[in-house]
Structure 1
Amino acid sequence: MTIAKVRTPLTDPEKVFHYTDLQRTKPTRENDPYDYMPGWGNRHQSEVIPGTLPAGQNNPQANRYGLYTEGITYSAFAAPRQVNKSTYMYRARPSAAHGGYNKIESRAHLENCFLSCNPSVQTFPGLAEWRPFPLPPADEPTDFVDGLHTLAGSGDPNLRQGLALYVYMLNASMPGRAFCNIDGDFLFCPQTGILDFQTEMGKLLVQPGEIVVIPRGVRFSVNLANGQKAARGYITEVWGAMWELPDLGPLGGHGLANPRDFLHPVAYIDEDLHRPFEIVNKSNGKYVAIKQDHSPYDVVAWQGNVVPYKYDLTKFSSQNATSVDHTDPSVNTVLTAKSHDPHTPLADFIWFGPRWDVASNTFRPPYFHRNSASEFLACLYGKGLGRDEGFLPGGASFDGGHTPHGGFGDEYINEMQLQVNEPRKILENQMTIMVESSRTLLFTDYARHGCGTLEKAADPKAWDKLPDRFSSHPGIKQLLQRVRDDKAAAAERLAFYHEGGIAGPPLPAA
């Protein structure tokens, strides 16, 4: 008689093979206190007070409770329906009630002009690797505004084309302060520390292993969740494009990041709406701020599709080779941002997490390669992917386009000798993300010098780890000589037909 094995739910999201190991009946982790609306590409609606949203129209002559109508458009007014983005908000006071724009001082290192004419940014000719970026000292309060640092990018937000990569390090919340990115969409990827996002549309709790996207023009505050002393993570910003789900092609209707797993906030308003606020705007890569005497988080109801959303990367439904050969990393794309070239994305946000490896008679790790894309990798937790034995969480690495690269770790090098054909779980208890772009990335002075954690441009021991086994192979010199002899003999045989062989019969006389 077979005895059923009791399945015990796991409790640590960083130790699961997949989110389903938690055996949760809710779509959120246990420590997430908020409610969300699931789906992708929807026009959601939400109300703090039921019945606040006007029925049958967007801008009534008089809203309930004396609220003001305020619209936010993301796309051109006449954009096709499938890409037309807008949201209507019904709020206590309109955002237009403010005291004007002024420049502010900040300890952030921002750069958004990634054109060759800008002497402040340069390419990395090859490879680069950073140790964990430094968290701010406890005696130096640093919020998101001051803790944002640009690492690299391509293009310019003024042209509505390109992208930028950032790292944020903070140890303070943003009471009385909000942020608005006028340039592009922010994709946050926390590495350490749980963040409590407050946005005009509601609240989202985001922790390592999750991502959150804040659309261009939406105001938000980045706060430390209860019990958190500091936080660090990465941001990918896209200009002139929006994050989308990749097409699935032959996979069919399901797989990779499934639409139902994206979660949107529900309406929420501050208890005290009458307090001073500073709204910091990032416009063309520069900070300007406006001051107002009321909270920006006074939206009692909203409806539309310009809405922040979050996604738990442990829910990713990975696909892979089930017979032979290594699948390209594009099969792990969570979100993609299109470029003007329909065949080449501006950026792909890619997941490398726990999965089965089952390919037979195959060198299973990524083979040594020279991709056309620029690749920025960051380890969120565990033993991350890298050229060595795995770089530390909080660090990052970069491989430039057409730069030869691959793993130099012992496990990687010894894979050929292991001859493993048995199914195995790989990348357990870790998560690594990669931002892959068709653009050539230019790096800021902060990334090259200011952060103080740039470790190396290449592995100086690569020659030792990658010996030339071909030249020392037994009998290889004799084989090469045999090849030369065979080629010479073949050339001699062919010369007979081209250099004076038997002449054919003469042509008949005219």
Structure 2
Amino acid sequence: MSEALAYMAGFGNEFETEALAGALPKGQNAPQRCPYGLFAEQISGTAFTAPHGLNRRSWLYRLRPSVLHARRFAKRDQPLWKTAPASSPAQSVGAFRWSPSPMPTEELSFIAGVRTITTAGSADLRIGMAAHLYFVTQSMHDTYFCNADGELLIAPQQGELDLFTEFGRLHAAPGEICVIPRGVKFKVTVAGPARGYLCENYGAPFALPNRGAIGANGLANARDFHAPVAAFEDREEPGVLTFKWGGDFFDCALGYSPLDVVAWHGSYAPYKYDLRLFCPMGALLFDHPDPSINTVLSSASAETGVANVDFVIFPDRWQVAEHSFRPPWHHVNVMSEFMGLIFGRYDAKPEGFEPGGVSLHNALCPHGPDATAYELARASELKPERMSGALAFMFETRFPQHLTDYAATLPTLQKDYADCWSGLRKRFDGSFEGGSP
């Protein structure tokens, strides 16, 4: 069987995979007796009554039902992982930028290594998101994690992650993303120190955005998303499952691995995507398109055309427009933008925005290219230019993003960030009659 299965995020496609031949029942989801003595269990990522095209659920055939995985919880302290709404006196209005945080020297698993930068909306109301950094220096060999509050979009920036989920294994390297649906158990192992970005989406599951007038092709294509082939652990050893629910963390002692799904079929599963397969769209004559044209995945809201969260990237691409200012223009936006840089140099911020760094431009706070980028773009010869070697992204949400105390007190916070626009000078000339003064 191939290493991964094609997966169309958000369109109800069903797939099936089994680690042992014949483990998937044929013609009945929960037969009286499952093959190999397995238990049948359904996991639902949407309401039972969701429309067929949006309904997400999978049938799992496992060694033990999950009711044995989730008993006798003990609360666990996880002070740097915050959940919306999170109370903090930190000022969140304005423009913020952080230099990359150094890799910690202490032992940190994926759970212990999450550091929340912003929160937005409410996990209890199933709206909004949180933006985190993660730092991993230690593998989870006999510890496991399940997040009931949100779907996790993981974007590695340094080092690689191996994710062993209930549905099978996924590998994520810088330039790729993995998405773990709400309620799915997994563990993370590493070969060396790793850091990256994490979006905890409280709202509707991520899906491919509507292309509208673009049509059937372009942006992220469904065939490039992959879900794991079934794989399972049959381990009778002590372990701990950490369960995140309502913003709190709870530990449950286990005597075996909960990653015991031998076969599965359905439309609710983890998946990965190589961001280098994104097909950018752009201007062929004039004007810089809105950044929404670079949307990879979108979490819908109840308001038509306004996302709960958009995941947007700025990858390798051609710039060919004439008589146009080519970097992203100065603007004021009702959405709030959390931005990170995987590698390379971002064209609108050639200095100060480094791989592993973060910026935040909150709702209706003006922002745009700094003085250096503006002067360079204004004076450059307008000819076809290939933008290459950089990969930036945004977690963009309709909700204001509130800084955590951790983010506000980080030594890497660039307190002089706003000075990058100080060189933008007034150019008004009342006698101007044409051309560029």
How has the CA–CA distance of structure 1 residues 93 and 479 changed in structure 2, closer, same or farther, with 3 Å as cutoff?
closer
1:76 aligns to 2:47 (yes or no): yes
1:204 maps to 2:170: yes
Is contact 1:384-1:390 (8 Å) kept?
no
Aligned counterpart, 2:412: 453
| Candidates 33, 53, 59, aligned match of 1:88 | 59
Q: Distance in 1 between matches of 2:76 and 2:402?
A: 26
Counterpart position of 1:431: 391
Q: Deviations over 1:48-86 (max 9, x none)?
A: 111111111111111111111122111112222112211
Q: Distance in 1 between matches of 2:313 and 2:65?
A: 40
Q: In 2, Cα distance between the equivalents of 1:163 and 1:479?
A: 47
Which amino acid counterpart does residue 305 of structure 2 have in structure 1? H
Shift of the alpha carbon at 1:94? Answer: 1.7
Q: Distance in 1 between matches of 2:420 and 2:220?
A: 38
| Residues 1:221 and 2:187 aligned together | yes
Query: 1 CA distance for matches of 2:122 and 2:354?
Result: 31
Unaligned runs of 5+ in 1: 1-32, 481-510
Question: Which of the residues 281, 286, 306 maps onto 2:243?
Answer: 281
Question: What RMSD, in angstroms, separates the aligned Cα atoms of the two structures?
Answer: 1.9
Deviation at 1:113, TM superposition (A): 2.9
Shift of 1:39: 2.9
- CA distance in structure 1 between the partners assigned to 2:53 and 2:90 by the alignment: 38
Look up the equivalent residue of 2:68 and give its one-letter code.
Answer: A
Kindly provide the CA deviation profile for residues 120-165 of structure 1, in whole angstroms up to 9, marking residues without a partner as x. Answer: 254522100001023211xx21101110111112121111222111
Please report how far the alpha carbon of residue 280 of structure 1 lies from its aligned counterpart in structure 2 after TM superposition: 0.5
Are 1:195 and 2:161 matched, yes or no? yes
Q: Distance in 1 between matches of 2:242 and 2:308?
A: 27
Letter in 1 for 2:390: Q
2:383 corresponds in structure 1 to 422
Residue 159 of structure 1: SS of its match in structure 2?
A: coil
How far apart, in 1, do the equivalents of 2:30 and 2:84 lie?
39
Asked if the contact 1:373–1:402 (Cα under 8 Å) also holds between the matched residues in 2, the reply is yes
Q: Distance in 1 between matches of 2:373 and 2:128?
A: 37
Q: Distance in 1 between matches of 2:241 and 2:420?
A: 50
Q: CA separation of 1:457/1:222 partners in 2, compared to 1, >3 Å: closer, same or farther?
A: farther
Task: Kindly indicate whether residue 406 of structure 2 is the aligned counterpart of residue 440 of structure 1.
Answer: no
Choose 1 or 2 for highest CA Rg.
1
Identity %: 38
Candidates 339, 342, 348, aligned match of 2:301: 339
Q: How many equivalent residue pairs? A: 429
Q: Distance in 1 between matches of 2:236 and 2:144?
A: 15
For residues 109-188 of structure 1, what are the structure 2 equivalents within 5 Å?
109-114=80-85, 118=87, 120=88, 122-137=90-105, 140-188=106-154
Q: Distance in 2 between matches of 1:314 and 1:192?
A: 16
Contact 1:132 1:395 in 2 (8 A): yes
TM-score by length of 2: 0.94
Q: Give the number of the structure whose residues are more often helix, by fraction.
A: 1
Question: Aligned AA for 1:39?
Answer: Y
Give the TM-score normalised by the residue count of structure 1: 0.81
Which consecutive residues of structure 2, in runs of 5 or more, have no partner in the other structure? none
Q: Name the counterpart of 1:39.
A: 7
Structure 1: distance between partners of 2:249 and 2:402: 21
Provide the secondary structure at the position in 2 that maps to 1:96. Answer: helix
Distance 1:130 1:91 in 2: 44
